[in-house]
Structure formats: C-alpha cells, structure tokens
Amino acid sequence: MTTFLLRRLALVLPTLFFVSVLIFGLQQLLPGDPALAMAGEDRDPAVIAFLRQKYHLDEPFPVRYLLWVEGVLAGDLGESIRIKRPVRDLVLEKLPVTAELAALAIVIALSIGLPMGILAAVKNDSAVDYAATMVALWGRSIPNFWLGILLILLFSVEWGLLPASGFVSPAESLSRNLATLIMPAFVLGNAIAAVMMRHTRSAMLEVLSSDYVRTARAKGLSETRVVLHHALRNALVPVITLGALEFGELLSGAVLTEQVFTIPGFGKLIVDAVFNRDYAVVQGVVLCTALAFILLNLFADVAYVLINPRLRE
Amino acid sequence: MTAGILDSASADAGARPWRLALRRLARRRAALLGLAVVAFFIAVAVAAPLVAPYDPLATDWRAVRKPPSALHLFGTDELGRDVLARLIWGARASLMAGLVSVSIAVGVSVPLGLVSGYLGGAVDGLLMRMIDAMLAIPFLILAIALAAFLGPNLTNAMIAIGVAQTPIFTRLTRGQVLAVKHEDYIEAARAVGNSHRRIVLRHILPNVLAPILVQATLAIAAAIIAEAALSFLGLGQQPPAPSWGSMLNTATHFLSQAPWMAVWPGLAIFSLVLSFNLLGDGLRDALDPRRG
C-alpha cells in the first residue's frame, strides 16, 4: 500500500511540472510583446514599463518561469490587470458558486444516471435498455448551451416559472438560490448523467454475471435484493472512481452554463478574463482547475485501492 | 524479397477485415442514418452558394426579426438577415472546424503515439507525463485558454481544439502499439531484417488504424460542439461571418422576441453531432470482430 501511494505520488510531480510549464508557456503564444498585449489599448508607456518590470519580461523564459513558480508556491497567482485584485482572491470568491452548481449537477446526474444504468443492465437488450441508450446518446450529442437556451425559452420566457439568469446566494435566500440554479444544474447534470448511465450499465452487467450474484440468486433471495444489495454495491466502486474523471467535463460545462445563465462563477471568471485580456486571471483559473483535477484523480485512485481489498497488497 | 512477400501478405490480410467491416457497417441502420445526415450536411456546405436562398451577410432593415414565413423559411435575425442562408453557410465553419481540428490532432498525435509506444523507455515516459499534464486541463478550458492567447478567430479556434484533442489520440495510438508490438507477425517482420521505420509504418500502423478511425469520427462530433462553444463565447468565427455558435450567442439577446433565432442553429449542431456519434458508434461495432 505504501509503495503504491509513493509510486502514485511520484507520478504527480512530473505531471505538475509539465502543467505549470504549459500554463506559463501560454504567455509565449501572445503575438508580439506580452507587455504591449497586457497593457491593453491605451499602451501607456508607464504601464508597459511597470509590466515589464513586474513580470520580469526582460529575463529569459526559464528565469521568468522559476520566478512565477516561486510566487505560485507561496500562494501568489499574480494580479488581475483589470480588476486590480489578486487572482487568488478572485478564484476563492468565485469558487463556492461553481462548487454549489457542480454539486447540484452531480446530484441530478446521479439520480438520473444510476437508476437508468441499473434498469438498462437488469433488462439487458430490452426496450428499456434501448431507450436508456437513446437517452445517453442524446446527453452526449446535445450542446449544453443550447439545452440551456431551450430551457430558458420554455420555463422563463414561455411559462414564467423560473428566473432566466442571475444568482442569489444561499445565505440570502435558499429558495431563490435554488430557483436560479435548478436549470443550469440540470443542463450541467444532463451530460454527466449520460456518462454515469453508461458506466453503471457496464459495471452492473459485469457484476450481474459474476459467481457471487449467482450464489445469491441460488440462495433464493429476491431479485430486488440481489440487484440492489449484492450487485449494486460492488458495481458502484468503478462508477464512483470513473465519475471522478468527469470533473473536467463538469468544469468545461460550467464555463458555458454560467455564460448562458449569467452566473458569476469560475467559468464566467475565465471567459470575462479572456475578453478583458486579463491573462494572469486566465492562467490562475487554468492552474487551479488542473490542480484540482490532478488531486481528485489521485484521491480516486487511492480510494479505489482502499475500497478494493484485492488491490490492497 | 522476403520483406516484400511479408508486406503483400499483410496488405492482403489487411484488406479483408476492412471489407468485412464495411459490410457489417452497411447492416447498421443507425450508423447509415448518421452517414446520410453527415453526407447531407457536407453536400449543403459544399453547395452553399447554390442552395442558400439569400446572401448570408445581406441585411434588410424592413425584415428585422421576422418569424418563419414563405419568404424566409427559418425567419430572419436582428439585422434582417435570412436565418436559413446563415445556417447553410454556417455548416461550412462547423464541418471545417470538425475536420481540420481532428486532422491536426491525428497528424500530431499518431506519429507521437507510434514513437512512444514502439520505443518505450525514457522517451515514452517523458511523452506520457506531458500528455498527463495536458489531460489534467479540461478539454474546453484548454481550448479556451489557447484560443485566448492565440487570438479569437476560426483558424485559431481550430488549432486550439486540435491541440486540446492531441492527448486522447496519442494515448490511444500508444496503447494500440503496445498491444500489437509483440505479436508474431511483428516479430517475424523484425526477424527478416526490416528497418524500425518500415516495421512501424508498414506493419504496426495499418493494424492500429481501426480504433483511431473510430475515435476520429467521435472526435469530429466533439470538435463541432467545441467550435460552436468557442464561437458562442466569441472566441471562434467572428461576426458577421456566419457560424452556428455565434448565431446562438446573438439569439440569447432576443429570446422573447425571436425564439426561432435560437432554435435552428442549435438543432443544426445537435443533428450533425448526433449523426457523427451514430456513425462513430456504428464504426466501432463494425470494426470490432467480437461484436460481429
């Protein structure tokens, strides 16, 4: 177990290194002088000189990279040129909004994907299985920003049931908070539900044909008990660990969903930063996303080994 | 000489499974439907100047936001432009983004995957850590970041999507190479003195192509959604040039006055993406002998 943990941790370090080089290297893609690009349209010579000094633009790439890493390790992600605030504060401020949206989306995805996957596996090759496959195909193919627009058209414009955009913090009013988040969470959860359904279906199919399920059936247990008690518990392990990989999908989706529903989260932060040419914010957001993804995968891998006794030794 | 015989033998053996796969594909109705819809969109995109009822850029102040009618089948937009004409021309941007970005991804990553899988060792280790790093950044966020730094236009969006898709293809190719590189026919090719280059290109590559083809079809679907997403965010095709994503973006400002502006472009993206997904699923089943 310790060897596994150490080996797994050792793999994280080079990944982190390359991620940081990649994200810092993005700057190199800026056409021309980065200071000119970052200074915006005014091109004030004082601002340009300040930027050049602040970002050590006269230094060679490796030196600038090391200085940047040094800052990041100390928790300094740079400063937003437009909003004049530390990127770290902006990220910490927007994170809870996206986290709540994502959590709701996962709840929706699980409550659609799990039962559908179980049903599709239990009734393998039936009309139910076929219908579930269709739903999964729909979830994979529909652009979530279009689904969002369609929901706004129906529930806000046509029926006036839900607010079309905006965000109310749960501390202010929980009911209005949920009213603003339910449509975006459904849009975001929809695509993940399709993936969850496929994972659940294939994991359940495998488990249902295993020896211990056959034994459970031979003991005369009811089918419901066999499916929910014996099969599902084991099928859930790969479903949950594979689900961790959907985190990226969730964040990519959040960028678009937050844009459609004007929710001031992480996704809106990066898009606004792109248009404000606020490159430090773009880099900061991408870095935090990658870091979260790497850590989540690490936890998922460790959890997988911890839960599965056969892999422990 | 022996190498030549071996080559023609593996070429013969290579042709038959493909023919069998084609026959299996022809039996799958969903895949054929997908293929037909894709062909329809390609035909429309190619023939855009001939089939579009109006100039997609021509504004008409007397026909601003008109609902669908005999004159404008899909209605008009906020500048009085014909929505159908813009949809037809927009198909070009979407299809091109799908094909070009996946070509970039395949062109870069297949050689990388072949080298990484075949050579193994330190080269493989280094390449795979770099791929892990790229995979750690969510696909669309990587594409947004790249498009942001490169500058917003359709060409850069295609490059960004292509680069963001590179890690998936590199991993896939490498995995396939690892699976076949110790097969008997590769050992035989090596034993008769073929060069590494020849072994990789003539013996390994043809045998790892099938899964890459399947992944490419599915990746086109993902690339079309990604281009629409980037254009929706304002990072892809720039106005006034038509693209489905930017049409949807504009439509969000007129949802209560002109809902048709939001319905058609989304439906176009959805049907094209669905068709590529159906085709990709069908190809995967047809190319997998176990699925018969």
Q: How confident is the model at residue B159 (pLDDT cuts 50, 70, 90)?
A: very high
pLDDT confidence tier of residue B290, bands split at 50, 70 and 90: low
Sequence-ordered list of residues with C-beta below 8 angstroms from that of A137, at least 6 positions apart, any chain = A194, B274, B277, B278, B281
pLDDT at A160 over 70: yes
Chain B nearest CA to A293, separation (Å): 6
- The encoded tokens of residue A147 equal 């689904």
Q: Is the dihedral of CA A105, A150, A260, B231 positive or negative?
A: positive
CA distance A228 to chain B (A): 29
- Whether residue A249 and residue B233 make contact (CB cut-off 8 A), yes or no, is no
Per-residue confidence band for A311, with pLDDT thresholds at 50, 70 and 90: low
Nearest residue, CB atoms, A286 vs list B129, B141, B255: B141
What is the number of residues in chain A? 313
CB-neighbour burial class of residue A70 (10 A; exposed 0-12, middle 13-18, buried 19+): exposed
Closest partner residue to B255 among A30, A157, A274, by Cβ? A157
Tell which residue, A189, A193, A198, has the closest CA to residue A129. Answer: A198
- Identify the three-state secondary structure at position A197: helix
Q: What is the pLDDT of residue A309?
A: 66
Query: Which residues lie closer than 8 Å to B12 by C-beta, 6 or more apart?
Result: none
pTM of the model: 0.89
The tally of CA atoms less than 13 A away on the side-chain side of residue A173 is 6
Read off the pLDDT of residues B202-229 as tens digits, 9 standing for 90 and up. Answer: 999 998 998 999 999 999 999 999 999 9
Contact A149 B255 (CB under 8 A): yes
Cβ atoms of residues B165 and B105 within 8 Å: yes
| pLDDT value of residue B153 | 92
* Tens digit of each residue's pLDDT (9 = 90 or more) over A286-309: 999 999 888 888 888 887 777 766
B235 in contact with chain A, both atoms CB, cutoff 8 A: yes
To the nearest 10°, the Cα dihedral for A227, A230, A231, A235? 140
CA distance B58 to chain A (A): 26
Q: What is the pLDDT of residue A44?
A: 80
Residue of B136, B141, B266 with shortest CB distance to A255: B141
Contact flag B137-A14 (C-beta cutoff 8 Å)? no
Contacts of B234 in chain A (CB under 8 A): 275
Residue A106 Cα distances to A188, A196, A241, A259, angstroms: 8, 10, 14, 19
Q: Measuring CA to CA, how many Å separate B2 from each of B10, B199, B200, B275?
A: 12, 14, 17, 45
Model pLDDT, residue A153: 95
* Chain A CA closest to residue B221: A141
Q: Reply yes or no on whether the pLDDT at A238 is more than 80.
A: no
Give the nearest partner residue to A141 out of B132, B228, B277, using CB atoms.
B277
Q: Is the dihedral of CA A247, A253, A259, A261 positive or negative?
A: negative
Beta bridge pairs of residue A79: A86
Question: Is B93 in CB contact (< 8 Å) with chain A?
Answer: no
Of A21, A137, A286, the CB nearest to B137: A286
Q: Considering only residues 238 to 277 of chain B, which have any Cβ-Cβ distance to chain A shorter than 8 Å?
A: 248, 251-252, 255-256, 259, 262-263, 265-266, 269-270, 273-274, 277
What confidence score (pLDDT) does residue B15 get? Answer: 64
Residues in chain A closer than 8 A to B269 (CB atoms)? 143, 146
Is the pLDDT assigned to residue A6 strictly greater than 60?
yes
How large is the average pLDDT for residues B171-187?
A: 91
pLDDT, residue B232, reads: 95
What confidence tens digit (pLDDT) does each residue in A84-109 have?
899 999 999 999 999 999 999 999 99
pLDDT digits (tens, 9 = 90+) for B32-52: 999 999 999 999 999 999 999
Nearest to A294 among B136, B140, B151 (CB): B136
Does B139 sit within 8 Å of A294, measured CB to CB? Answer: no
pLDDT at A162: 93
Chosen from B28, B29, B131, B132 to mutate, greatest number of chain A CBs within 10 A: B132
What residue segments make up the domains of chain B, in order of their start? 2-287
CB contact under 8 A, A259 and B232: yes
Owner of token pair 């991620």: A19
Burial of A74 (0-12, 13-18, 19+ CB in 10 A): exposed
Cα A67 to Cα A12, A56, A152, A234: the distances in Å are 21, 8, 46, 48
Top-level class of domain B2-287: mainly alpha
The pLDDT tens digits for B112-151 are 999 999 999 999 999 999 998 998 898 899 999 888 888 8
What's the pLDDT score for residue A39? 73
Q: Give the confidence band of B289 by pLDDT, cuts at 50, 70, 90.
A: low
Q: Which 3 state secondary structure label does DSSP give B201?
A: helix
Taking residues B168-190, report their average pLDDT: 91
What confidence tens digit (pLDDT) does each residue in B217-261 have? 999 999 999 999 999 999 999 989 999 999 999 999 999 999 999
Kindly report whether the peptide bond that precedes residue A31 is cis, defined as omega within 30 degrees of 0.
Answer: no
State how far the Cα of A218 lies from the Cα of A241, in Å rounded to an integer.
30
Q: Return the structure tokens found at B264.
A: 């058609």
Select the residue from B38, B131, B233 to test the A interface by mutation, using most A Cβ atoms within 10 A. B233
Give the span between the Cα atoms of B250 and B77, in whole angstroms. Answer: 9
Percentage, residues of chain A above pLDDT 90:
38
pLDDT tens sequence across A63-75: 989 999 999 999 8
pLDDT score recorded for residue B247 = 95
On the 0-12 / 13-18 / 19+ scale of CB atoms within 10 A, A224 is: exposed
Any residues with CB less than 8 A from the CB of A15 and at least 6 apart, and which? A294, B129, B132, B133, B136
Percentage of chain B modeled with pLDDT above 70: 93
Classify the complex by whether its ipTM is higher than 0.90, answering yes or no: no
Give the whole-angstrom CA distance, residue A261 versus residue A182. 11
Q: What is the pLDDT of residue B1?
A: 43
Per-residue pLDDT at A112: 92
Strands (DSSP E) along B75-143, which ranges? none
